[in-house]
Chain A
Amino acid sequence: MPKIRNLHLWLVILAIYVVIAILISLRILNPYWQQIIQFAFIITISALGLNLIYGYTGQFSLGHAAFYGLGAYTSALFTKCFPQLGIFSFVLGFLCAIMVVGLVAFLIGLPILRLKSDYLGIATLGFGIIVKVVFDNADAVIPVMGGSRGMLGIPKFTVFPLTFFLMVGAIIVIRNFVYSNPGRACISIREDDIAAESVGIDTTKYKTLGFVIGCIFAGVAGVLYAHLYSFLHPANFDFLKSIDVLLIVVLGGLGSISGTIIAAIGWTFLLEGLRVILPPQILDWRLVIYPLLLIIVMIIKPKGLGGGMEFKFLRPQNGTHT
């Protein structure tokens, strides 16, 4: 039975892919919309990472955009330094970015994750601001990075199939992780870290593991972002961007993969899509409404709109649901 169900699922994913691909090839979706769709998938990957860190492991991070930016800048720098390698420069840059982000997340996570709740949030926020200052001044050391003038002329490698299947991959990885042994250890830390420790879970190890994986997701999203827009600016990775991702995770629901996907895609389309439709006077109100929504959701449903809910295919086939 399970095999057939998975087959259904793969067919559905493939169908979605084919439909969008056909729409693109028939030029029904113009390049602007293609970019928005890809951006939505990128944000989804990044938000899934934060959901793993905050939603599942319970570690409140406000520095997500820093890791997003680290991934973007690493890969962009690599591809710009080795243009002769062609597509391989992208592959290597991608791997390089994952390693850099993972290493930085590990090194910063190890000491910082000793802190709890709001203190951790503040420390990660501080880290995010430091990283942004480093990006701002990077041109003093590496002129190619452009510093506060922005980094130009990054080769475009991000294409629709890549973003789509990386997003699917991200969903599969996070789903399998959450229902694995280490994933359950992470969830137990979220529920009560003292109790988790007292039943023999190495909380430091699993906190760091969740944090590093989540940050690598952000890094992957950053790589895709860099090679999609071919322009990077430090302002794209400041702390308001971290809050954007947090908003998606919270609205979608803490510890809900489905919620995060819906919220990330919905958020991107509301933010970007409404730009085309609404007149400019009303447009400014978008940014007023999102925070209001956040406040209302927090007061009414602190676990987010889809907190604890999950599509059937994202749940394990047998056993209990967390």
Chain B
Amino acid sequence: MSYFLQQLINGLQLGFVYALIALGYTMVYGIVRLINFAHGDVFMVGAYLGFYALSLYHLPFPLSLIFAMAGCAIIGITIERIAYRPLRNAPRISALITAMGVSLFLEYFSSLKFIFGPNYLAYPRPFDVCIYGIGDICISNIQILVFFVSIILLIFLQFIVQKTKTGMAMRAVSYDKDTARLMGIDVDRIISFTFGIGSALAGAGGVLYGIAYPQIHPFMGIMPGLKAFVAAVLGGIGNIPGAMIGALIMGIVETMSSAYISSTMRDAIAFSILIIVLLVKPTGILGKGEIEKV
């Protein structure tokens, strides 16, 4: 039982990081109906920015986090402006292929020696790891940090989306772009803002991931990115609480399958979930169906 609870905590740690990435996927999909493949790589850039802030400039952890988030927000907005905006009215697959191009570009460009370099880097920890025992269960200060930062960010996001005027505009745009424009909402600005917020969250996720699993390389974003996307689909893509729930489920399922089945099979299990969800209930747990109009 204590082994199970221990794995549950580890799973939640992973799940919260996935949640930070999945939110960017789901918000962007909700607004422009685009699977932003490059999102996982923005996450990677976030991890690297945090790495440089922590190890090169020796910034304290909160400042490093903000630095990574701001950097990622700028990158996200730039990507949207350059690559996706010209394709706003193109077929969805064209935009998707472009997103893949952006993803590959970020990966290979970061691998160049004068950018991040192709090697694995050890991630610095902002403080020493210490482990607290509660009964048989261990929880480290790193895990507490991951929980704490992610929950704060999730609450902050919920506040922006639900309580502010920009958030209301975001919801309006995701509901109906043209009507939103008629109501005087600057749709382009809202889309940029959404990419910025989503990328900032991914950046924060990157820093937390780097601290929790202390090794980074330019291709680290692919798998967490894809799994966070699975989480977004599982929760119902376009739905913010759904993405959080989906991400926590994904994190727990992944940790449990490593713990009880086999760690090499966990990717297969994660993507089997994806295929099953897509076939059985493509709208996910909380998503609403769309009616196809001829």
Contacts and interface: CB of A to CB of B under 8 A. Distances in A.
Contact of A302 (B35, B94, B222, B265): B94
Contacts of B90: 298, 302
A130 B105 contact: no
B98 A125 contact: no
B104 A118 contact: no
Given A112-B279, A129-B267, A302 B91 contact: yes
Given A118-B96, A127-B275, A133 B91 contact: no
Interface residues of B, number: 43
Contact of A133 (B112, B265, B294): B265
Given A117-B92, A294-B97, A302-B91, A133 B268 contact: yes
A190 to B, nearest CB: 11
Contact of A292 (B105, B226, B279): B105
Q: Which of B100, B105, B233, B262 has the most CB of A within 10 A?
A: B100
Given A123-B275, A194-B294, A291-B101, A60 B268 contact: no
B56 interface: no
A35 interface: no
B282 interface: yes
Interface residues of A, number: 40
Contacts of A130: 267-268, 271-272, 275
Interface in B99-120: 100-105, 108-109, 111-113
Give the secondary structure class of B's interface. helix
B104 A134 contact: no
Interface in A71-130: 111-112, 114-115, 117-119, 121-123, 125-127, 129-130
For the residues of A in contact with B, the DSSP-based class is: helix
Given A118-B96, A136-B264, A291 B226 contact: no
Interface in B192-247: 222, 226, 229-230, 233
Interface in B48-92: 83, 86-87, 90-92
B145 interface: no
A319 to B, nearest CB: 28
A4 interface: no
Contact of B93 (A111, A117, A294): A117
B264 A294 contact: no
A215 interface: no
Contacts of B91: 117, 302
B226 A290 contact: no
Interface string B272-290: 1011001100100000000
Top 10 A-B pairs ranked by shortest CB distance?
Answer: A294-B101, A126-B271, A291-B104, A291-B105, A133-B268, A295-B101, A287-B108, A302-B94, A291-B101, A126-B274
Interface of A: 60, 111-112, 114-115, 117-119, 121-123, 125-127, 129-130, 133-134, 136-137, 148, 194, 239-240, 243, 246, 250, 281, 284-285, 287-288, 290-292, 294-295, 298-299, 302
Interface of B: 35, 83, 86-87, 90-98, 100-105, 108-109, 111-113, 222, 226, 229-230, 233, 262, 264-265, 267-268, 271-272, 274-275, 278-279, 282, 292, 294
